[in-house]
Each structure stands twice: as structure tokens, then as C-alpha cells.
Amino acid sequence: MILKERTKSVTHRILESLDHRTTLSPSEKIQYDNQIKGYAGELEFDNKLKDARVPGILISDLLLSTKDTSYQIDSLLITDTRIYLYEIKNYTGSYHYKDGDIYSDSGHLIQSPVNQVERKRAYLHNLLLNNGYHIEIIAHVVYITPNFYIYSLPKTSSILFVGQLTSHFESLSSHQENKNLKLANTLIALHDASYRPTNLPNYLLTELKNGTMCSKCFSFAYTTSRQCRTCSKCGYRENSAEVIHRSIEEFRLLFPEKPVTKKGIYDWCGKDWSESRIKRVLKKHYQLHSSSRSSYYD
Ligand SMILES: [Zn+2]
């Protein structure tokens, strides 16, 4: 049972939008590329888990916080007796293990992913305890890419390579269908949907290309019929009101501090859609706040 589906992270969605509306710097390009690869690895993990039909509740991308830190959990599988916490890594290449540390071929030390996942396990344990739940949590680091290897790694149950996933999931199939829905819903309620990381790129509205993009291929070029936007590049058709709504959400993601106004969205959408049409979408999805000096939606 999937209680929370995976979505692209805030960083991923912002970089995706900026990549099409402006030119990313080389370091932002690398950051974007890592986001794409990381997300693809997580989806790969999800598919394997779904195929295995393990009886349990699945929660993806959970953002939780303690008093002084926020942490993201890639995947949680809640069974009747235990919680399995998975940290998914998409590293490629060969590494080697020596005295508790993992080194790349160039000799660089990589931060121990096992320590990282164990820290999250401790945070989650305490959070659940504070909410009245005492349940065993088992944490695993999953290396989802086939061309990744750590030489001389001692046998450890904390690390799962992609080839071990099927048998790992099979070992969980004896669990009973679930009685921990209340616990799962407690965690979902604690999810911080408004979280924004601090290392986002800098950008200004005036630097970005206006217009609506195709949701499949990101092209700005299109033709319209009465109710639809048809992409000139890939032919994908979308309902115009949905295109405008999606573009408003993109604006809000990029500029959470800016008020959403009819005129602002008219410009943002490339002045292609009438203000009355934009107003209809705004009225349908958002609340209007009016004063004598300004009106905005949120
Ligand atoms: Zn398209």
C-alpha cells in the first residue's frame, strides 16, 4: 500500500524550471544532473519494491525535523512489526573499504552512508517514541546502480547492492498485512511540505524566459484550440486551464515570497492567455485577498 508517492524534490523542480527558462551555471548543471540521476535511482528502487509486493505501507520522500535539523528519508516501508528505512544512493564506479572508511579510486574519502542512515534511524526512533510508538527500525543503504562496487567491504547487513534487493524483499514477504496505518499517518502529518533547502541557486524574475512549457518536453512553442494547448514539438495536448494552473504553481515554487497577481501571471504565462482566462483559473484554485491598494491570490 502506497501512502505517499515519490515526487521530484524542490531543488530538482527549481533546477528543471531554470534549465529551460535561463542558462544554468556549470555547477548548477552538475547539481541538476545529480538530481535527475538520484530521482531515476529512487524510481528504480520503487519499481523493484512494488514488483516484490511486500505487504507493508510505503512512504517516499519524507521530510522530518528535530529541534535543530531537518532530514529526508528516501523510503520507509512500514510492516506489521518493523520499519525499514532505505537511503538510496546512485554512485557509480569502484571504491574500496579500509579501516571503516570508503575511498574512491582517486583516494578521496566519501562520507560514510551507513553513519548517515544510522543518524536518521536514531532521529526517527526518537520522533516515534515521542509520539507514543515503540517499534524496531532497520536501516539500509541501497546502492541502486549496477556498476558500483566497494572492494574489501566486510559483510554487512546495512548495505544492499542492487543485485541483493530481490532476495531482501523476498525475506520480508512473510509479514502480515498491516496494522500500523495510524503510525504511518502520524508520520505523514509530520511531513514538512514547505521545506526549502538553503543551497538553492540565485535567480531573478527578470532573468527568466516567460511563457508556458509543455509538461512532457518543456517546449515553449504551441498552438491553441478553444480549450487546449498542443505542443508544437512533441504534439502533447493539455487542457489550457491546467497549463495555466501548472504555470502558476511553477511561479509559486520559484518565487514563494512574491504575491500572485492576475497581471503578474499574465506576464509569466507569456501574455498569450487572456487575463480573464487567467482570472478564472486563479479564482478556482486560490483565495483572493483584496485591499484598496492591491489584490493577490494565495
Ligand atoms: Zn512537448
CA of 237 relative to ligand 1 center, distance in Å: 8
CA of 212 relative to ligand 1 center, distance in Å: 11
CA of 228 relative to ligand 1 center, distance in Å: 13
CA of 220 relative to ligand 1 center, distance in Å: 8
Task: Please report where in the chains the cell 525475506 appears, as a residue.
Answer: 171
Q: Cα separation of 27 and 40, whole Å? A: 20
The CATH class, in words, for 2-190 is alpha beta
| Rg of the chain on CA atoms, in Å | 23
CA of 20 relative to ligand 1 center, distance in Å: 13
What's residue 177's pLDDT? 66
CA of 23 relative to ligand 1 center, distance in Å: 20
- Strand 159-161 and strand 222-224: pairing? unpaired
CA angle 257, 193, 53 (to 5 degrees): 150
Query: Taken in order 13, 14, 20, 23, is the CA torsion positive or negative?
Result: negative
CA of 246 relative to ligand 1 center, distance in Å: 15
CA of 37 relative to ligand 1 center, distance in Å: 22
CA of 8 relative to ligand 1 center, distance in Å: 19
CATH 3.40.1350.10, the chain: domain bounds: 2-190
pLDDT digits (tens, 9 = 90+) for 198-210: 889 999 999 999 9
What letters, b where the CB count within 10 A reaches 16 and e where it falls short, cover 236-274?
eebebbebbbebbebbeebbeeeebbbebbbebbeebbe
Q: Cα separation of 26 and 277, whole Å? A: 38
CA of 48 relative to ligand 1 center, distance in Å: 29
CA of 209 relative to ligand 1 center, distance in Å: 17
* Helices 240-254 and 10-21: angle between axes, nearest 10 degrees: 110
CA of 262 relative to ligand 1 center, distance in Å: 26
CA of 222 relative to ligand 1 center, distance in Å: 8
For 45-100, strand residue ranges (E) read 57-65, 70-78, 82-89, 93-98
What's residue 136's pLDDT? 96
H or E element that contains 115: helix 113-130
CA of 232 relative to ligand 1 center, distance in Å: 7
Q: Cα separation of 152 and 136, whole Å? A: 30
Mean pLDDT of residues grouped by 10 in the chain (298 residues)?
91 97 96 96 95 91 90 94 95 89 88 89 96 96 93 88 93 78 95 89 96 96 92 96 97 96 96 94 93 82
CA of 92 relative to ligand 1 center, distance in Å: 31
CA of 255 relative to ligand 1 center, distance in Å: 24
